[in-house]
Amino acid sequence: MGEQSVSKSIGVGVIGFGWMGRTHSRAYRNIPVYFPETGLKPRLVAVADTVPERVDLAIETFGFETGTDDWRELLDRDDIDVIDITVPNALHEELVVAAAAAGKHIFCEKPVGIEPRATAVIEQSARHAGVITGCGYNYRWAPMVQFTKQLIEQGRFGELTHYRGRFFSMYGRDRLGLLSWRFKQEEAGYGVLSDIMSHTIDMAQHLCGPIARVVSVKEIFVKERPLPNPGEGTHYDRGKPGDPTGPVTNEDYVGALVEFDNGVRGTLEVDRSIFGPQ
Ligand SMILES: NC(=O)c1ccc[n+]([C@@H]2O[C@H](COP(=O)([O-])OP(=O)(O)OC[C@H]3O[C@@H](n4cnc5c(N)ncnc54)[C@H](O)[C@@H]3O)[C@@H](O)[C@H]2O)c1
């Protein structure tokens, strides 16, 4: 195998240094190692987070050159080519629209906006600016999924008649799990519909084509959760019995019966509060 040399540096600014901000930053650092054939070397120029400790962590541990609590500062910098948006869903629209207007290429985490209207605005702003965009529907890139798609396209499964998509997650099963932004309509928008059904729908349409018709149900199983301290806590952190609680305002469960354009019938089911195998 010939050795590849890294030729192009790309300046990256990450907004939101929680779970995904860290995951993406690790991935940027690994690109020259795992994908040397790209010839790309991401440069972690700047990070923005409203929690100062997270900015410090990004600089000290991940090697970001600088950080701030104001994401707007990243858009003013000429040495940032790509803005990576890994903040709670309610902020996606404002940040993508501003980043596109500043001429930055954009990676925005799913669900790309808090509601369909916001997603349409985001799409239009990015198209209008002519910037390159990407979003976090990562499961479709798994080698097994890519191979399955190839087999479907080659007709190796014959004519498809049924599709079953299921994404059962445990992150909300602990009744003492904190009331993080994910469980609140005003910060997350929908619950599992945005959070994990979006992945399930993306994969279903990736493999089977557009969904034509749908009927669905939803439910909130865990109605109250302990309140986090401001600036602390993710959906994996726990409160204690007797802590003050607040209401969960978006759904834990969605089940849907679907029909695809090509006549395939199927079911899609997601849950964040379930016990047992995932
Ligand atoms: N593709 C996937 O599989 C996947 C997995 C998890 C999360 N996500 C998506 O990633 C996004 C972030 O989720 P997460 O789990 O990393 O959340 P998180 O709560 O762990 O991190 C969010 C971060 O954003 C910061 N933040 C909040 N407001 C800010 C502001 N105004 N300016 C700068 N920073 C701000 C918070 O302090 C926090 O550090 C969500 O849109 C979520 O849907 C995608």
**CATH code: domain of residue 149:** 3.30.360.10
Residue 50 CA to ligand 1 center (angstroms) comes to: 11
pLDDT at 3: 58
- Atom of ligand 1 at shortest range from CA of 195: 43
Total count of domains within the chain: 2
Distance, CA of 277 to chain centre: 23
**Phi and psi dihedrals of 269, rounded to 5?**
-145, 130
User: How large is the average pLDDT for residues 198-227?
Assistant: 97
Instruction: Report the SS3 class of residue 116.
Output: helix
Contact residues of ligand 1, CB 6 A cut-off: 15-21, 48-51, 54, 71, 86-89, 91, 109-110, 136, 138, 195, 234
- Atom of ligand 1 at shortest range from CA of 23: 16
Same domain? 48 vs 159 = no
- Atom of ligand 1 at shortest range from CA of 85: 11
Mutate which of 15, 17, 19, 236 for ligand 1? The one with the most ligand atoms within 8 Å of its CB, which is: 19
Q: Tell me how far apart the 2 most distant CA atoms of the chain are, in Å.
A: 62
- Is residue 51 within 8 A of residue 231, CB to CB? The reply is yes
- Atom of ligand 1 at shortest range from CA of 108: 41
* Summary mean pLDDT of the chain: 94
Same domain? 94 vs 192 = no
Which of 27, 7, 11 is CA-nearest to residue 19? 27
- In this model, does residue 1 exceed pLDDT 60? no
Would you place residue 92 in the very low, low, confident or very high pLDDT band (cuts 50, 70, 90)?
very high
Identify the bridge partners of residue 40 per DSSP, sorted by sequence position. 8
Residue 213 CA to ligand 1 center (angstroms) comes to: 31
User: How large is the average pLDDT for residues 177-199?
Assistant: 94
Residues 26-69 have pLDDT tens digits of 999 999 999 999 999 999 999 999 999 999 999 999 999 999 99
Residue 119, domain extent: 8-136
Domain CATH for 82 = 3.40.50.720
Mutate which of 14, 17, 20, 55 for ligand 1? The one with the most ligand atoms within 8 Å of its CB, which is: 20
Tokens of residue 10, six digits: 């790309």
**% of the chain exceeding 90 in pLDDT:** 91
Domain boundary residue, one of 99, 116, 136 = 136
**Phi and psi dihedrals of 142, rounded to 5?**
-60, 135
Same domain? 90 vs 189 = no
- In angstroms, the CA 275 to CA 262 distance is 35
Distance, CA of 245 to chain centre: 27
- Is residue 59 within 8 A of residue 67, CB to CB? The reply is yes
Identify the bridge partners of residue 105 per DSSP, sorted by sequence position. 82
Residues 142-172 have pLDDT tens digits of 999 999 999 999 999 999 999 999 999 999 9
User: How large is the average pLDDT for residues 89-100?
Assistant: 97
Residue of the nearest CA to atom 1 in ligand 1? 136
**Phi and psi dihedrals of 41, rounded to 5?**
-130, 100
Taking the CB of residue 145, how many other CB atoms lie within 10 A of it? 14
Same domain? 151 vs 35 = no
- In angstroms, the CA 122 to CA 133 distance is 11
Same domain? 80 vs 179 = no
